[in-house]
Structure 1
Amino acid sequence: MGQHVGLTIPRWIDVEGVKNFRDIGGWALRDGSGYIRERIVFRCGNLVGIKPSGIKTLQQLNVIAAFDFRSDPEVERQGVMPEIPGLTRVPSAMFTKDDYSPAALSVRWKGYFEGPTGFPKVYRIILEKAGPKYRSIFLHLLEHHSTQSTKSIIVHCTAGKDRTGLFVMLLFGLCGVDEEVIANEYALTNLGYWEPEHELEAKARSLGATLDNVRMVMSAPYLAMKQTIELVKEVYGSIEGYIRKECGLTDEQIKEIRKLMVVPIRFEERQLFRPLPY
């Protein structure tokens, strides 16, 4: 009788100087036919403060591209990651400077301040702008990665929460991950991202908002993602419908993304039983 050996691949990875760094792989599909491939797509907050040991970790993970969703104003304020041999930073901003006008910011902040049910209003704005940027990531995966490759990519914004979380939602939904799992994975940011209290207080003062409002903005509520998925289905029919319309992927490209990102589970009859403990 063969012996089964379990292998656990850590989801959270300590990349010194980077918050919220995790592997999106390992989550099972809704129908149990497979799981999301590990060590191919990572998500995190911005990479500006990465330390030398963190750079070494990215090289060990064979990261070849980091898709940076931050806008130009964010980059001007925060800076960019240091140059890392073999790793290309891909500017992928979906917001322009006009989107940082007082009026535009007010709309987005108001949505966040409303709590989990207000987040989808903000996420709808992001999704309406993000299609071409998300498309470029899908195409990169198809062109530069394979099931035999060890190369990987990073997707990130400032906190690795909103713009990043929406991309992961789309990728998971396309591959057949259950909506409950998608929302729970999104909510893991509550564990992986934080800001010191004095920075939250400074943000509250600059926004003329309460500290609780700012904490809400920085959170990743499960319900927010659940309702965002419902919004996508209402507007586009399905997550796949969004990807077809806004990202412009063809049937063949969608098929290839699934083939790349899903590790199938094949059962043999003898593996469905275990011996009695005599």
Structure 2
Amino acid sequence: MGQHVSVCIPRWIDIPGVKNFRDIGGWPLKDGSGYIRERIVFRCGHLVDITQKGIETLNRLNVIAAFDFRSDPEIERQGVMPQIKGLTRYPSAMFTEADYSPAALATRWKGYFEGATGFPKVYAVILEKGAPQYRKIFLHLIENHSITSTKSIIVHCTAGKDRTGIFGMLLLGLCGVDDEVIANEYALSNLGYWEPEHELQRKADMLNVTINDMRMVMSAPYLAMKETIRQLKEKYGSIEDYVRQECQLTSNEVQRLRDLMVVPIRFEERQLFRPKI
């Protein structure tokens, strides 16, 4: 009989003081030719409250860079991560001060309140405004990492689900992971990120909405990512076309990124199952 090759890694990693920390690697490619390299790209919520034990874990994971998608208003409110030896924080905000005007905020919040059908409206804005920052991360990976390196990076925003989730979708999709798998990976943030009920109620009261509205804002609906991918492909043709057009990566850079991120699975002829004739 044929042999089945599978990859099993601890996806969730306990980093005290950090929510939603997980490895983006290990997912299979749609065509079965490989899987995403593990222990090279991690995603999470903000690192402001990381503990010393958490820092020690990041050191063991050899994290050399943290790309912070948070905007200035978020950083002013939450603070910045502590300095960690050997780790460089790269400010990577995609929203400007104008994007925090009452009108702009109202539009974004309305999209979240609409649930799975509204999230893609917000994500379309992230895809538009985030391309330069996504490009920066893609190039960092190409220029600073190799298949023999043990260095890794973190990408994060506040919760590690929206701006970070779109980056994860682009990277996985560019490498050939199936849309269904990408949407399921995105939805894992429903397990990794949470806020106490009293905090949700406080925010709901502040915005004059219900606590269920706030629960929806904090969620990561599988169908929202599925629809986001569908709309992206409808507009650009493919995830690669988006990356080449909006992130301005060349064909060579796209291939180098794939070579870095994909671990090929090679089968010998004797491993293939052939029924008797």
TM range (shorter): over 0.9
Secondary structure, in 3 states, of the residue corresponding to 2:56?
helix
Cα deviation, 1:87-127, whole Å, max 9, x if unaligned, reads: 00000000011101100000000011111010000000111
2: CA distance between counterparts of 1:68 and 1:4? 38
Letter of the 1:148 partner, please give it.
T
Amino acid at match of 1:210: T
Partner residue of 2:205? Answer: 205
The Cα of 1:187 is off from its aligned counterpart by 0.1
User: For the structure 1 residues 117 and 4, does the alpha-carbon distance in structure 2 shift closer, same or farther, using more than 3 Å as the test?
Assistant: closer
Distance 1:150 1:212, change over 3 A: same
1:33 & 1:191 partners in 2: Cα distance? 29
Shift of 1:272: 3.5
Provide the secondary structure at the position in 1 that maps to 2:83: coil
TM-score with structure 1 setting the length = 0.95
| Cross-structure match for 1:9 | 9
SS at match of 2:82: coil
Counterpart AA for 2:62: N
**CA RMSD, 1 decimal:** 1.5
SS at the partner of 1:116?
Answer: helix
Partners of 1:229 and 1:5 in 2: CA distance:
28
Whole-angstrom distance in 2 between the partners of 1:178 and 1:106: 33
* Residue correspondences, number: 272
Partner of residue 189, structure 1: 189
1:24 equivalent to 2:24? Answer: yes
CA drift of 1:268 comes to: 1.1
> 1:1-278 to 2 correspondence within 5 Å?
8-272=8-272
- Name structure 2 gaps, 5 residues minimum: none
User: What secondary structure does 1:203 align onto?
Assistant: helix
Residue segments in structure 1 that go unaligned for 5+ positions in a row = 274-278
Looking at structure 2, the residues matched to 159 and 255 of structure 1 have their Cα atoms a distance apart, in angstroms, of: 30
Moved more, 100-109 or 263-272: 263-272
Q: Alpha-carbon deviation of 1:173?
A: 0.7
Q: Look up the equivalent residue of 2:79 and give its one-letter code.
A: G
